[in-house]
A and B are shown apart, each in its own frame.
Chain A
């Protein structure tokens, strides 16, 4: 419990860091808040004075009442105006703060190590950026609009009360801490419940995410009922912990209100006795106020109790929003990729040589994968990578593209630096952006974003002309199907390619690469979903593209592999054979065996 509240304190500090940029606005908001509070406290005082003028028939001082009421009208107008301005400022601060937080969260997503993205369910991370921030905003807005004015109202009321009756003020001051104590006690005990709720909520979001993306499969197997049951299970869990969190935190409000009604009764008692004069002995003497004063005091007691309710309501909301903020900050503070070193090279003209020296890598230290791999790839060569599933083909590409950093050893690329010297540098000393720009990559798992076909193709080269784009689409044989879409290149495709087939998506991924013509290529099963005939046509375009470009190809079609300059045969993370097709056949080893089976990327697990 203690540890938890410490975390909260850290979170509060972090929230203030975001608010800091809006210091001036915050000051303005406080000023407006103070003005509106002071005036709204001044009004009951005026009313009390007016009531004192309303005595008995025939003795009412109407002129004085009118004078008082005119001041009242002015005060009300100014109070309302300052309240409005304050609300607008608070809105502005809140929505700007959460905009900033979301921006930071997203920027972090862009630089998170791939290992984070690969191991965390998408839905859960999304829930942090979207719903957690939303709930946090609700809490923050309430905090701004009610917390400060609440505190000001309490302090202001005490001051105004003090001017009327010190003894009543003392009684009020003695009684109210009970209310704060109760609120604090409940809030403290509900934090853990809210954390549990946020966690369960995230689990449910992840489940929903998976079920919605996989809905078609679920429908195909009529497994809706089963999924529904699984959903029900989490849903009931969530309902249980929500009920607890909501109910217990909702106790704050009635409890403080009860304390408040006690305060109200006390003010009424002491106030009434003071009006008529009372000597309780032992020096306890109440006296010296009017009926108007009593009315003012009771009105204060009411106004005074209101902020306690509000503050306690805010505390509940803050509990929830702090729990959410904690989860957001956990994402924002997630360790990013090691940043590019300050003096990192910007590789503009890669020569195409890639050297792997003694590279070792594993995702999980307990299960070594690539060990002591050395490889020298010369500019313009075609490297085919073959081997059974899990042998490290995709991992090798993860390393070459620096999606993951090697655990040991180094990968070097050579390029011509600004002064014209040829340099051979570890890729960790080259900016990721310029390093990756050297490659054109097509993966088996295609990725398209929501947007037009055009936007999706232009990803690699945003400033390409229509002619260039169409030429690329023709080379990738995607032009004919794009043309048939309702709006051609301006057809909006849904998330993840919407209703396009896998093959069409792959053609679009290829079109991207055809458009930006990078100096080096990585093709990881780039044509696996494309029909043989189209593939063959694309192959000739690829062959054209590969001429003079260093290319890494993971493919299973014999023809593609046969034409490579070097074939790497991988098994269990190691290159076990290396050479040309003929050399490897002559060796009569693992490659020859695979070749005889007619298939290079044997997916037979070994």
Chain B
């Protein structure tokens, strides 16, 4: 939590100047009761017993001047406070974004998208408000409170004891309420996460929800979460609502005590009327200040709760250690040595003792049923997940020995779900390689069988893709994601069932062009279609996370029962021939 303050580092000047000018402003305000006391004791009832009008004029002019100086200080303070707060949230967001980007897939799976989105938006905003107000006003309060106490001592030490008693009591109330409410505000934000999640789901799943006529029950679900949020907010609100009345009560009690003590002391000749008024004015100043503070406390408390949530993310360290220093030395052969993978929080391993060897430039097919672990195998190559046991070896070195970025730069992966980003076709493709020329982009598009439709789009490479690629069909998106991977001329190419929306002809053309790539990447083709892996040098057959065959397609057809089944599912005619042949 405290660590978050480092994001103010670039704004040291602002962070010092803002409270400093606030402090100046506050100090000027503390002089006011002294002036008033002087007016009463020396202007109205001076020693000579005749009113001193010029003195009153001078003093009132002083009050006005203090106002002007105060205004200037305040404006300067506001500016620096705003600058620091905005700068703080800018830096914080920037580094939070970087942090989120650096998280490994494991953390991503555990956290979920909604909470990360609220933390980056709503929580950071809350914290920004809190920082702004803290710099502007929160620091002002102690200055006024303690300043008033010190000034009270200069007026009369005995009466000032009231201040010494009341200030700890006030702090107890203020901080006690904060202490109680911070965890509750954190809960409020958690409820808000739920609400955000439901809203998102209902937008992304609008078709399914309507198709099943579930609008009412979804609304009920939302209302339930909404009501829970509302109840929680009211509970916290009820506690926060105590701050103001309690401070009001305490300070007015103190004023009453002060007047009583003052009366006795004046009676005894230890104090003057003007001094009692000054003491009273100081107490009132504390009251005014604390009432302002009470209104801020909610903001600051919310900010603290948000801050905790943000540091929760900041403190996550990627479970992926990136200590490798090896430089790839040419070869792109991939070896799986007895690899077992158990996902975090999963009951049983998803991959069990997988062995695999792909020589440089070979094409490896991976085939198996839904949920058999095909994607898990390829996800281990770029270290999206870490092998629980065994080792994944590329170019003779364990993948852990390479820096993550170097490792991933060797690999072009086409994920199962074709995800594109808002921006031009060029922007999207350049994700693969920032330095690619237009010519190279076109080549990649052609190799990915995407040139035909892209060249027909207005602007071609400048064609704007909408958020999440909504203005393209599934097959078009898939081919663009393939092109994106090819743009980097990867040493290892992974196609994770990335041709599912393509027709057989396009799929075949795609595989043909990939096999003809001049840079000959080691290629992994994950598929459910036997036809897609027919051209592979070897095929890994998976069933329930275990390898049940790793051989050439032809040999597998003879030796591997599971492969045979998959194969004849797709080519039933051959089976008949075979049967009739016998």
Contact = CB atoms under 8 A, between A and B. Distances in A.
A275 B280 contact: no
Contacts of B202: 106, 109-110
Contacts of A206: 467
Interface in A88-117: 88, 90-92, 94-96, 98-99, 102-103, 106-107, 109-112, 114, 117
A231 B201 CA distance: 24
A99 B191 CA distance: 13
B122 A298 contact: no
A425 B346 CA distance: 51
Interface stretch (A122-130, A154-162, A578-586): A122-130
Interface in B86-144: 86-87, 89-90, 93-94, 97-98, 100-103, 105, 108-109, 112-114, 116-118, 120-122, 125, 128, 132, 136
A533 B560 CA distance: 14
B248 interface: yes
A211 B99 CA distance: 12
B132 A215 contact: no
A226 B32 contact: no
B371 A601 contact: no
Interface string B27-70: 00000100110011001110000010100110111011011101
B228 to A, nearest CB: 10
A218 B503 contact: no
B207 A443 contact: yes
A88 B238 CA distance: 6
Contacts of B432: 221
Interface stretch (A248-256, A374-382, A415-423): A248-256
A565 interface: no
B214 A459 contact: yes
Interface stretch (A4-12, A258-266, A348-356, A569-577): A258-266
B242 interface: yes
Contacts of A309: 292
B227 to A, nearest CB: 7
Interface residues of B, number: 186
B158 interface: no
B57 to A, nearest CB: 7
20 contacts: A51-B273, A60-B267, A69-B260, A73-B253, A80-B245, A84-B244, A84-B245, A94-B237, A106-B223, A109-B203, A110-B209, A110-B215, A131-B122, A228-B101, A243-B86, A258-B74, A295-B280, A449-B205, A516-B212, A532-B528
Contacts of B281: 295, 298-299
A536 to B, nearest CB: 5
A91 B241 contact: yes
Interface stretch (B161-169, B192-200, B514-522): B192-200
Given A87-B245, A109-B202, A603 B219 contact: no
A213 B60 CA distance: 63
Given A99-B227, A235-B93, A306-B288, A54 B64 contact: no
A512 interface: yes
- A84, A92, A146 pick with most chain B CB within 10 angstroms: A84
A40 B345 contact: no
Contact of B500 (A65, A389, A439, A528): A528
Given A254-B74, A447-B205, A597-B505, A235 B252 contact: no
B56 A214 contact: no
B355 interface: no
B83 A95 contact: no
B263 A65 contact: yes
A441 B206 CA distance: 13
Contact of A122 (B204, B209, B409): B204
Interface stretch (B146-154, B330-338, B417-425): B417-425
B369 A534 contact: yes
A236 B91 CA distance: 10
B556 to A, nearest CB: 14
> Among B66, B125, B408, B500, which residue has the most Cβ atoms of chain A within 10 A?
B500
B389 interface: no
B244 A83 contact: yes
A22 to B, nearest CB: 13
A551 B422 CA distance: 36
Contacts of A268: 35-36, 39, 59-60, 63
A114 B208 CA distance: 11
Contact of A265 (B67, B117, B207): B67
A439 B211 contact: yes
Contact of A604 (B82, B268, B284, B452): B452
A59 to B, nearest CB: 8
B167 to A, nearest CB: 18
A507 B262 CA distance: 83
A503 interface: yes
